[in-house]
């Protein structure tokens, strides 16, 4: 099973800002799970409505090192940047980081986003097995 690899798409040094895919739609992740663009949109909106801070590498006590300033579902067309392709339905997240987190980003220790949360599982075939959805 191949998983998607996404990294920071854009970085602005002066602003301590990064933009990247928070979660790709219809792609199997490292846990063997995926979500549809419709469900991902609900998740992205719920996240922005109920959360305000971003932590570091799922570690307790790190919430607030990053502040989300942009969150949107990419509507397409496919956007090729570097070795990755951002597709319609992917959740994009723009974050402004504090000095400590920015040092980790510049050092290559933090290279992308990893969402943390809970989900309800529903057994379905992954997109690659459903005829290319």
pLDDT at 67: 85
Q: How confident is the model at residue 120 (pLDDT cuts 50, 70, 90)?
A: low
Please check whether residue 74 is in contact with residue 92, taking contact to mean a CB–CB distance below 8 angstroms: yes
Residue 37, token pair as written in the block: 């663009």
Q: How far is 77 from 91, CA to CA, in rounded Å?
A: 14
Q: By three-state DSSP, how is residue 48 classified? A: helix
pLDDT value at 31 more than 90? no
* Distance between start and end Cα atoms, the chain: 17
pLDDT at 127: 63
Residue 13's CB is within 10 A of a number of other CB atoms, namely 9
If you average pLDDT over residues 20-37, what whole number do you get? 86
pLDDT value at 13 more than 90? no
Q: By three-state DSSP, how is residue 69 classified? A: strand
Poorest-confidence range of 2-16, 81-95, 101-115?
2-16
If you average pLDDT over residues 38-61, what whole number do you get? 72
**91: β partners:** 23, 73
pLDDT at 2: 40
pLDDT at 3: 43
Question: What CA–CA distances, in Å, run from 66 to 55, 90, 133?
Answer: 6, 20, 33
Please check whether residue 59 is in contact with residue 47, taking contact to mean a CB–CB distance below 8 angstroms: no
Cα radius of gyration (the chain): 15
pLDDT value at 89 more than 90? yes
Read off the pTM. 0.71
pLDDT at 73: 93
**Nearest CA-CA partner of 67 in 34, 102, 94:** 94
């Amino acid at each position: 099973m191949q998983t998607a690899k996404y990294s920071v798409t854009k970085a602005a040094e002066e602003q301590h800002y990064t933009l990247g895919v928070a979660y790709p739609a219809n792609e199997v992740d490292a846990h063997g799970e995926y979500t549809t663009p419709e469900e991902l949109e609900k998740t992205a909106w719920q996240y922005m409505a109920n959360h305000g801070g971003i932590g570091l590498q799922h570690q307790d006590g790190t919430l607030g090192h990053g502040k989300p300033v942009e969150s949107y579902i990419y509507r397409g067309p496919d956007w090729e940047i570097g070795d990755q392709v951002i597709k319609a339905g992917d959740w994009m997240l723009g974050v402004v980081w504090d000095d400590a987190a920015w040092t980790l980003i510049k050092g290559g220790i933090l290279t992308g986003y990893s969402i943390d949360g809970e989900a309800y599982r529903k057994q379905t075939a992954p997109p690659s097995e459903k005829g290319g959805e």
